[in-house]
Amino acid sequence: MNNQISRRNLIKLLGVSSISLPLTGFTKPLKKTILKNTDKNSPIKLSSNENPYGPSPKVRNAIIDAFDEACRYPYTRVAELEAMIAKKEGVSPDMVLVTGGSNEALRATGRYFGMEQKEIIACKPTYLALLTYAKDFGCNINWVPLDKELRYDLNEISNRVSKNTSMVFICNPNNPTGTMVGSTELEDFCVSTSKKTCVFVDEAYYDYSILDGYPTMTKLVKKGHNIIVSRTFSKIYGLAGVRIGYIISSPERIASIKKCTMAGTNMLATHAAIAAYDETDFFKYSLNKNKEAINYFYGLFEELNLEYRKSHTNFVFFKTGVHIDKFGKYMKDKGVLVGRPFPPYYNWCRISTGRIEDVKIFGEKLKEYYS
């Protein structure tokens, strides 16, 4: 069987119908392709902060082509991707660790610091992957409430740092609240705190906050501060199901955390990330579609007089006034999946942006709920 036939059969097997589309700019056929819903019988999924417009056709092509190397271990391609990231961020390649989603980097870091069996300080609610693993390995989690704006309370965290603190965890913008600590405030905090302990900054939603003036804390890593920064290809790049992310820190810290990783990424994911990393058209398109959905949510909640927080992510946190279990069940029965509970905010809901037509269906169901 020749390569062309194999490729065609593979495309059919994967259910991808758009491999031959032009990749220069976002044409009308391209928009139609990435808006396609492959399973119309499934509920509308606005629960997991995914980008439903990805992967782009360029990245899909890269994944298909990667099957030629699928019989090989991905180490060389991973090193290539780490070098790309290092060049873009202005660090050396040994300061980058690519993993099977940023979740794996978070868990490996949690394992590494958890074995010290000291404490990690974090606000609640926040993203739990690192903290759960650290706790499982004997680390105490010193929980700090969010401030009145549902942001990380950096002043209270500073007050709690002690000799027993092995790490401070910051998720910025925060998941599930979507709120963001300003760049100057966070930078000052990271500089001062990293002199006492390690600071981990989870920047999974960094790409959505660039236009809001949030510069990555990798600049502090480059200056030698005791900081770890995590990123992911799951969100704006639309690769949540492919599983690839990375962390940036000092060479020594990266080498130590690498020993704690249990699940590296794979050849197909690496090719996808390499293709996606400098793809500006899809990046801008995703930002614009996300903004469209975010603005719709704002208008919807204001119309219904529901409290919410301005978001710097691809989701919005709003106050339902009822327990999330009850609200979530109602929405599920109506064919819409919303975010899980985030204690102690049981009467709030995290709703993800999605295809604009799906977002508007959620809006219709929400108006019915409060009618």
Q: Calculate what percentage of the chain has a pLDDT beyond 90.
A: 85
Q: Does 348 have pLDDT greater than 80?
A: yes
What pTM was computed for the model? 0.89
Cβ(152)–Cβ(117) below 8 Å: no
Sheet holding 227-232, edge to edge: 96-99, 245-248, 227-232, 198-202, 165-171, 119-124, 140-145
Task: Give residues with Cβ within 8 angstroms of 253, minimum separation 6.
Answer: 198, 228
Q: Does 204 have pLDDT greater than 50?
A: yes
> pLDDT tier at 278 (50, 70, 90 boundaries)?
confident
> pLDDT tier at 41 (50, 70, 90 boundaries)?
confident
Q: What is the DSSP letter of 94?
A: G
Structure confidence by residue, pLDDT tens digits, 101-147: 999 999 999 999 999 999 999 999 999 999 999 999 999 999 999 99
Domain extents for the chain? 68-277, 280-371
Of residues 241 and 19, more confidence is placed in: 241
Topology of the domain comprising 280-371? Aspartate Aminotransferase, domain 1 (3.90.1150)
Topology of the domain comprising 68-277? Aspartate Aminotransferase; domain 2 (3.40.640)
